[in-house]
Structure 1
Amino acid sequence: MTLQKWRNLNIKLSDPVLETLDELKFYEATAVQAACIPLLLQGNDVAVEAVTGSGKTLAFLIPLLELLLKRPEKWKKFEIGAIIISPTRELAIQISKILSQFLKRISNLKQILIVGGLTVKEDIAQLRIGANIIIATPGRLEDLLSNCKEINLSAAIKSLELLVLDEADRLLDLGFSVKINTILSCLPRLRRTGLFSATQTKELEQLVRAGLRNPSFVSIKETESYSTPLHLYNYYAITDADKKLAFIINFIKNNKINLKYMIFFSTCACVDYFSSVIKILLAPIKVLALHGKMKKKRHKVFEEFQILESGLLICTDVMARGIDIPEVDWVIQYDPPSTASSFVHRCGRTARIGHAGNALLLLSESEDAYIDFIKRNQKVELKLLKFKIEKTLIEECLQYMRNLQQADRLLFDKANRAAVSYIQAYQKHECSLIFRIKDLDLGKVFMGFGLLKIPRMPELKGRDLLNFQSANVDVNSISYKNKQREFVRLLKLKKYQDTGIWFEKEKKRFKNTEAWSKSKKSKSERQLKKNQRKEKKNSQKIKNEKKNSKKRKIVTTEEDLKDLVKDIALIKKLKRKKISDQEFEAAFCTN
């Protein structure tokens, strides 16, 4: 039996798990699975570093199921035995799908997926139906644990057996550290914990110290010198910014259009714009777009691309981590990633679990030092891919982009937003010594976006833009295809022509500038008035205190007055000799 290979690794698995592995055609445990599964089943915490595509998901799902199945007591309807936290919705959905394959044969265990997209009430309704395993993103889980009073989730997690933080370094990169710490504080201490990641960071080491008890560290690398899979072939190409799109179109057409491609861009705005352009330039190919701002639509696009035999997905780094898409042939990095670790994760969307794959990075001449940086920092060696692009194709791509913008102002807006967002992202790059805005040929960049005119940006002050050739077109004449949007634009345009003010928000946003001398004078006047108000307030306070002190008097009660009247009456009786001295003293002392 092929599944005997699992048993040869001294891993005793239950029949439902083995049968599912057989159905999914996972006949042999990978290195990371062979290392992690026994440790978790023996009750150890683990911190795992393994190259992308090495099978980390099964490395925690198999022990998770075994731990829950081996508990002597039957799991209650709403009793949580395991929690898996994922950085993105797509990765959480993927884990849930794999787990559901196993749960088909395990009827007494139920899972629930808690991610953005549904309301809190909908999540509560699902929890009330029953769950033993939670797969969640950090924000929603923290909200349910801390703020939700309609369901007692804190009580349900008292029997927690295993906590898994998948792509743990990405959880911290996305700013979830506070939420993770809040979640950890709510969970029982007597549990197993697994941290799984493709890279190790200082922040991750801190999380290991905070969340794990005497952890076992597992580091799986295919070779000592490389951090990407052995069957992944990495390439780079040097091209100017104004030729990038033409290169991509030429590369895909000459390579094979019936393959599966992923193209990574640096911003959501770039994905929106270039997906619209590439759909037309590569009309026979199915082109999809996905980024973090798409919300509910993201899931549908992700599922559609997963089942495609061939096609092209244009995306941001939201798709760079842990996502398993079958048989991706090429990963193309149109823009360099913002961090060095993201480079490895992007490439890892291909060549997964033993399959072959290819990755290509596009750089300009001023950015070629990045090749050596990646080799030293991430231990990834890139080979130069030589190419030849005809000048007619470059001009054709430029004309297509400009024609699209003139046909619909919505594309004109998208092009400008994309160009601005690209430059802003470029300025924030982690490798600022290599990717310097002053070395960027902004004229060629704008030509690469097919802009009709140069946008207004503070970054352009004093810059050489000779390589930009503006289109001979009045941009105010470009209209929206959407009639309602165009009607609003025309109203604003008329107001601008009449008053010189485009719309009120801009009027509030910008302040009128004034001379430095006037600004300094007004500032000193404001400070003087502030000091005068302070002195006046202090002097008034002193006057009030004096006034109150004069008004303070000794307050006598009604009883004191009665005693005083009695004493005066006794003194009068003593003077009139109506009472003796002894009687007076006795009566006075009593009073």
Structure 2
Amino acid sequence: MAPHQQKSKQPPKKESQRVIRRRNEKAEIEAIESKLASPEPLSDVKYFNDLPLSEKTKEGLKKANFTQLTEIQRKAIPLALAKRDVLGAAKTGSGKTLSFLIPILDLLYRSQWNASDGLGALIISPTRELAVQIFEVLKKIGRTHTFSAGLIIGGKEFHVEQERIAMMNILVATPGRLLQHMDQSVGFHCDNLQVLVLDEADRIMDMGFQRTINAVVENLPKQRQTLLFSATQTRSVKDLARLSLRDPEYVAVHEQAEHSTPQKLTQHYVVCELQEKLDILYSFIKTHLKSKVIVFLSSCKQTRFVFESFCKLQPGIPIIHLHGKQKQTKRVDIFRQFTNSQHAVLFCTDIAARGLDFPAVDWVVQLDCPEDADTYIHRVGRTARFDAEGHALLMLVPSEKEGMLEELKNKKVPIEEIKIRANKQQSIQTQLQSFCFQDPEIKYLGQRAFVAYMRSVYLQRKKNIFKVTELPADAFAHSLGLAGTPKIKFVKKAEKAMGPKVVDTKEEEEQEQEENQQTKTKYDRMFQKRNQDILSEHYTKLVDYEGDKLGDEDDDDFMTLGRVNHTLESDEEDNMKDTKANNLSKRQAKMGKKELAKRSAKGEKLVFDEEGKPHQLYEMLDESDFLKAGDAKTQKDAFISETGELMKVADIDDKAVAKQKRAEKKMKRKMKEREARELAAGKGSEDDMEQYTEEEEEEEEEEEEYTQKRKWFQGSDNEDESDDQEESSRKKRVLQVDEPETIQDQEALALKLLGGL
């Protein structure tokens, strides 16, 4: 019995580390879910360690130096962790990014998500720069988790993204590239999606992204959690219905606040004329060389022009520019360069107005008026972030002052007016004029910047703020350094829309005549060319021409008069033809010879047969007509034989003519030799000698030409060789002697002839 008792008392086997880890994770998940059963009391928590989060998430936050919660994070994170739909609205710089990244990591962890489960969370951003920033934060706080994450934005190699996108658990994407992968990438599907996040939701659901977002949402499952965050949130019923939100929790932490902008942000505006804006901006930069400044402009073309011009002015501080027409790699490099800079000036469009976190920005200068108060709030939100101090300056023209200030007042934006000291202001108009005169690139960019600004004002929706007809176009063009004001047709359209205006027609006709009489310089002719490559090498590397072509076409639409096709009666057609003929004659009078040659129809050369019917110079016969005369070889042999006979006849005629000419030349030569002898004997005159020498030179030249032609002809004819031989032998038999005058001379000639025989 003893051995049997010893076997029954063996110790149990040890559990593997994997089993222990799984049991601990399960216990941790159960504890977290029990705490999240009622998330409302958690809204007063101050530190991340006090939230019901997994240990991996807490460790990642600790390594990234995130310890204390902001107000939006305290209210939004517990609701998101409880798997509720959230609409979050908070001031810029209040920490909205962590408000959705932390719940994503913890929700997937609690679901035990792995690579085989596919896509679990999708984050959509309106701009590439904001998507890159979100992805960088995700990498910092999610380093302790085992989820795979990817960044899907335009400007990168599409096939490389296709190979990896199907293996991702978390995706950060822009709407356009995401929809492209949904349509073209094999194996990419969103059937198991758990969380959808829209950062800057009001911008994503704008008209520009409406169709794309609708198409993306159609490919997503309806049973999902949706989180929307923005600094200016919308509560539109249509937007919420489109995104299939289920009883969303609206979290607006600053809705009851006194101001909608950060408390430590000082905001000022200045009213100035449009032509003084660049002078004020340059003076501002010269007095803030130890600051970090962001300058917002309304279009890409203005950003290019101001950047190139200020680089030539060399204000004494690094200058960078960022806009949507640059290549993606360049935009990311500029974003990182400005982030790491201590003192710099960034010229940019509204592409940098939303969500981007540039550290330690001192000033935000809005050179051009924003389209509305929401855009103003997003722009100034690049400074005074996370309880830091910041300053904002808004430049308004007199026509924009009243409407814009009313907008800002309704949005609870505190802003004060400041005056600029005239003695501190520097003028750069003469330098810009010099740049435009010396550098065609600057002139070209200045013209495009002028048109782009006027067009942006014309297209704005709020006409109570933006009044294109009240802008001093001529003075603005001169302030950019341009010698003349580019013509823009949409301003005339706006004037017509405003109502009839009394104008002296005589003055208009005189102005048109003066403009037509003005001589065009080589630079003006150069700018009329469409296919020009005027941009410098460093600039062409930055520009995305595929995207830039679209913008150029849009500008050209405003520079030309749109016509509408109408069905006219017979009487009206005659009138239209007369008016068109008059218009064409006026245009043709202004055209150059090259343009007229390009526009005119090309002529055709015709030949006429015996009946007088015209035919093309070269006409192709049908195969049946061609074969009537025999096959190709037969026709070829017949042609060769026929033309050969004609050439033989012509050759005989040519030889006869050539022999006759030679005989005549010989006779002339003998007569001239006789005259020369008489002249030597004193019977001639000096005039006869001059005439002889001139005629002799002409004959020698003619004979040389004949001999050259004869040599070429002899190479192909053997009969001429025999003729030449006979002629040479005949020359040997004939003796050339002087004409006998006396009996002694005749006797001497007879002896010579007898000796020759």
Do Structure 1 and Structure 2 share a fold, with TM-score over 0.5?
yes
Instruction: For residue 368 of structure 1, give the secondary structure of its aligned residue in structure 2.
Output: helix
Q: 1:139 aligns with which of 166, 173, 176?
A: 176
Q: Whose RCO is larger (CA < 8 A, sep 6+)?
A: 1
Q: 2:153 aligns with which of 94, 107, 115?
A: 115
Q: Which residue of 2 aligns with 1:445?
A: 476
Superposed, which structure 2 residues align to 1:466-545 within 5 Å?
475-477=521-523, 485=533, 521-522=572-573
Aligned counterparts of 2:437 and 2:369: Cα–Cα separation in 1 = 30
Q: 1:401 aligns with which of 432, 444, 452?
A: 432
The answer as to whether partners of 1:232 and 1:351 remain within 8 angstroms in 2 is yes
Paired amino acid for 2:257: E
Distance 1:381 1:158, change over 3 A: same
Q: Which residue of 2 aligns with 1:293?
A: 325
Comparing 398-407 and 169-178, the one that deviates more: 169-178
Distance 1:520 1:383, change over 3 A: farther
More helix by share: 2
Aligned counterparts of 1:249 and 1:27: Cα–Cα separation in 2 = 42
Distance 1:379 1:524, change over 3 A: same
CA deviations on 1:303-349 (whole Å, 9 max, x unpaired) are 21111111011011111111111111101000001232111111111
Tell me how far 1:477 sits from its aligned partner. 4.5
Q: 1:421 aligns with which of 434, 442, 452?
A: 452
Superposed, which structure 2 residues align to 1:64-463 within 5 Å?
64-72=104-112, 74-77=113-116, 79-106=118-145, 108-128=146-166, 130-145=167-182, 147-148=183-184, 150-154=185-189, 157-173=190-206, 175-201=208-234, 204-211=236-243, 212-221=245-254, 224-254=257-287, 256-296=288-328, 297-390=330-423, 393-394=426-427, 397-459=428-490
Q: Which residue of 2 aligns with 1:14?
A: 54
Tell me how far 1:50 sits from its aligned partner. 1.2
Instruction: For residue 193 of structure 1, give the secondary structure of its aligned residue in structure 2.
Output: strand
The answer as to whether partners of 2:373 and 2:408 remain within 8 angstroms in 1 is no
CA deviations on 1:483-503 (whole Å, 9 max, x unpaired) are x9479xxxxxxxxxxxxxxxx
Tell me how far 1:509 sits from its aligned partner. 7.1
Q: Which residue of 1 aligns with 2:728?
A: none
The answer as to whether partners of 2:150 and 2:170 remain within 8 angstroms in 1 is yes
Q: Provide the identity percentage.
A: 33
Tell me how far 1:239 sits from its aligned partner. 1.4
Q: Which residue of 2 aligns with 1:51?
A: 91
CA deviations on 1:81-112 (whole Å, 9 max, x unpaired) are 10000001110000001101123222x11111
Tell me how far 1:517 sits from its aligned partner. 10
Aligned counterparts of 2:397 and 2:488: Cα–Cα separation in 1 = 22
Aligned pair count reads 486
Paired amino acid for 2:177: R
Structure 1 stretches of 4+ moved >3 Å: 389-392, 459-464, 472-475, 477-481, 484-487, 508-514, 516-520, 523-526
Aligned counterparts of 1:428 and 1:511: Cα–Cα separation in 2 = 17
CA deviations on 1:14-49 (whole Å, 9 max, x unpaired) are 233223323333221111111111101111001111
Paired amino acid for 2:168: A
Tell me how far 1:365 sits from its aligned partner. 2.3
CA deviations on 1:333-389 (whole Å, 9 max, x unpaired) are 000012321111111111112111111000122322145313333211211122113
Distance 1:120 1:512, change over 3 A: closer
Report which of the two structures shows the higher radius of gyration computed on alpha carbons: 2
Distance 1:475 1:268, change over 3 A: farther
Tell me how far 1:119 sits from its aligned partner. 3.5
Paired amino acid for 1:99: L
Gap regions ≥5 residues in structure 1: 465-469, 488-504, 527-591
The answer as to whether partners of 1:409 and 1:478 remain within 8 angstroms in 2 is no
Tell me how far 1:399 sits from its aligned partner. 1.2
The answer as to whether partners of 1:87 and 1:138 remain within 8 angstroms in 2 is yes
TM-score, normalisation: structure 2: 0.60
The answer as to whether partners of 2:46 and 2:74 remain within 8 angstroms in 1 is no
Distance 1:231 1:475, change over 3 A: farther
Tell me how far 1:520 sits from its aligned partner. 6.3
The answer as to whether partners of 1:96 and 1:113 remain within 8 angstroms in 2 is yes
Distance 1:359 1:521, change over 3 A: same
Distance 1:450 1:305, change over 3 A: same
Aligned counterparts of 2:472 and 2:414: Cα–Cα separation in 1 = 27
The answer as to whether partners of 1:51 and 1:222 remain within 8 angstroms in 2 is no
Q: Which residue of 1 aligns with 2:67?
A: 27
The answer as to whether partners of 1:80 and 1:133 remain within 8 angstroms in 2 is yes
Instruction: For residue 169 of structure 2, give the secondary structure of its aligned residue in structure 1.
Output: strand
Aligned counterparts of 2:562 and 2:147: Cα–Cα separation in 1 = 62
Distance 1:353 1:525, change over 3 A: closer
Instruction: For residue 101 of structure 1, give the secondary structure of its aligned residue in structure 2.
Output: helix
The answer as to whether partners of 2:202 and 2:232 remain within 8 angstroms in 1 is yes
In angstroms, what is the RMSD of aligned CA positions?
3.4
The answer as to whether partners of 1:77 and 1:131 remain within 8 angstroms in 2 is no
Aligned counterparts of 2:210 and 2:268: Cα–Cα separation in 1 = 35
CA deviations on 1:203-224 (whole Å, 9 max, x unpaired) are x542222321111111121752
Paired amino acid for 2:326: M
Gap regions ≥5 residues in structure 2: 1-44, 496-500, 504-514, 536-555, 578-757
Paired amino acid for 1:250: S
Aligned counterparts of 2:108 and 2:64: Cα–Cα separation in 1 = 21
Paired amino acid for 1:142: L
Tell me how far 1:391 sits from its aligned partner. 8.8
CA deviations on 1:59-78 (whole Å, 9 max, x unpaired) are 00011111111223x51257
Aligned counterparts of 1:112 and 1:165: Cα–Cα separation in 2 = 16
